[in-house]
Amino acid sequence: MTKVFLRKKIAHRIANGHPWIFGNEVEKIDGEVNAGDIVEVYYADKKFCGCGYINPKSQILVRLLTRKKETINEDFFYNRILSAWKYRQQIGYTENCRLIFGEADEMPALIIDKFNDYFVIQTLAYGMEVWKPAIVNALQKIFNPKGIYERNDVPVRELEGLPQQKGFLSTPFDTNIIINENGLQFHVDIENGQKTGYFLDQQDNRRAIQHIVKGADVLGAFTYTGTFEIHAAHYGAKSVLGIDISENAVSKANQNAQLNGLENIVHFEALNAFDVLKVWAKEGKQYDVVMLDPPAFTKSRATIQKAITGYKEINLRGMKLIKNGGFLVTSSCTNLVQPEMFLHTIELAAKDAGKNLKQVVFNAQAADHPIVWGMENTNYLKFLIVQVCDK
């Protein structure tokens, strides 16, 4: 097997458990280098570091799968998936969960979402793509699922020399499915929805709005298929308006309102949140609760400042629409915007809006997307509820 030797000066990251090894951290390679091959990695002092897959086309030359000297084969993937499932069950997930959250489950570049009997997979690196059949076999053995689908229509695959693609990995099935969450039902479009079709990362946070929305007039922006807004109606809001720029999302959101018999309370419209929030604030519209859950504003360090300006702007506009003593429910899924940075941005927005804030809840993503301590990029979602009062 090919052996990769690390330089003396490598980032502490690797020794501390992070699985990525960049090309410039490698001193020499003994043996052939073929994209996707399993290699053994050694520290500069020849001590064993771990086994992983290599891809000379990628900036991340090796991603480690294990720190043990063990054989990487079908059984390895079966065992990893089984133990990830056991962990999800241990922490209380039964029907829907992110079954594999990449690096956090020692399965770099692999995402698997479980929507009751259906599974959606993303293999985002060459070395993981190679094991796709083994992963599908493991899912078949463990779950005997009704369907498995790949949503590999993701640009990041091209950095690995992989094509973008989507399709069935099991016998074909109806990709419009219904899932249960917190006693509600939601249509999920596995084939054409955003990402894997549904944002499981907010599934626990959606419950956090339960008390603040009672009897409230609620505005939700970046609603996607209406999940937060339908929860608000279910938890006793007086009226709810959800907006999203995508006509498809809005049409699914309205279907979801009907599916739950809440169409008299919650409505959805296709609008650009950045534009209308500004106009509505000028017009003096007021809500008891405003909820914001925008998409990631950047994936690159070069544009973090722009992302922060975006967060400040949208939250400032949101706050201006809130009645004195009402609540702002605000999220950020931009990995590079750290929790403290996000809170600071909200603080600056409040200052500009002339508001005082009182923190009700500050959470990360749902626990089925584990945050591994020492692996910063596993802690990506910020979810904040604050009471907003006039100064």
246 contacts ligand SAH (rule: CB under 6 A): yes
Using the rule CB under 6 A, is 228 a contact of ligand SAH?
A: yes
Cα(205)–Cα(228) distance, integer angstroms: 9
Indicate the Cα dihedral angle 385, 249, 379, 96, nearest 10°.
Answer: 100
Q: Which is nearer to ligand SAH, 18 or 206 (CB)?
A: 206
Residue 224 near ligand SAH by CB under 6 A: yes
Binding segment (CB under 6 A) for ligand SAH, from list 58-66, 100-108, 271-279, 304-312:
271-279
Calpha distance 234→249 (Å, rounded) = 20
Residue 235 sits in the site that holds ligand SAH (CB under 6 A): no
Size of site (CB under 6 A) for ligand SAH: 21
Q: At what angle do helices 74-90 and 132-143 cross, to 10 degrees?
A: 50
Nearer to ligand SAH, 247 or 390 (CB): 247
Q: Should residue 249 be labelled a site residue for ligand SAH when binding is judged by CB under 6 A? A: yes
Phi, psi of 36 (to 5 degrees): 95, -10
Closest approach of Cβ 324 to ligand SAH, in Å?
26
- In terms of CB distance, is 104 or 291 closer to ligand SAH? 291
Nearest alpha-carbon partner for 307 in 315, 156, 379, 280: 315
Residue 18 or 252: which CB sits closer to ligand SAH? 252
Q: Which amino acid is at 120?
A: V
Give the largest CA-CA distance in the chain: 69
* CB proximity list for 65: less than 8 A, separation 6 or greater: 19, 38, 50, 51, 52, 53, 72, 76, 106, 107, 108
Q: Does 342 bind ligand SAH (CB under 6 A)?
A: no
- 230 binds ligand SAH per the rule CB under 6 A: no
Binding mask 174-193 for ligand SAH (x = CB under 6 A): --------------------
Least CB distance to ligand SAH at residue 176 (A): 16
Which residue type does 273 have? A
Quick one: 31 or 295, whose CB is closer to ligand SAH? 295
Pairing, β 147-152 against β 165-168: antiparallel
* Residue 280 near ligand SAH by CB under 6 A: no
Q: Number of helices (H) and strands (E), helices first, in the chain?
A: 9, 20
Contact mark string toward ligand SAH, 287..326, x via CB under 6 A:
------xxx-------------------------------
Count other C-beta atoms under 10 Å from residue 45's C-beta.
8
The radius of gyration computed from the CA coordinates of the chain, to the nearest angstrom, equals: 23
* Site residues for ligand SAH per CB under 6 A: 194, 199, 202, 221-225, 227-228, 243-246, 249, 272-274, 293-295
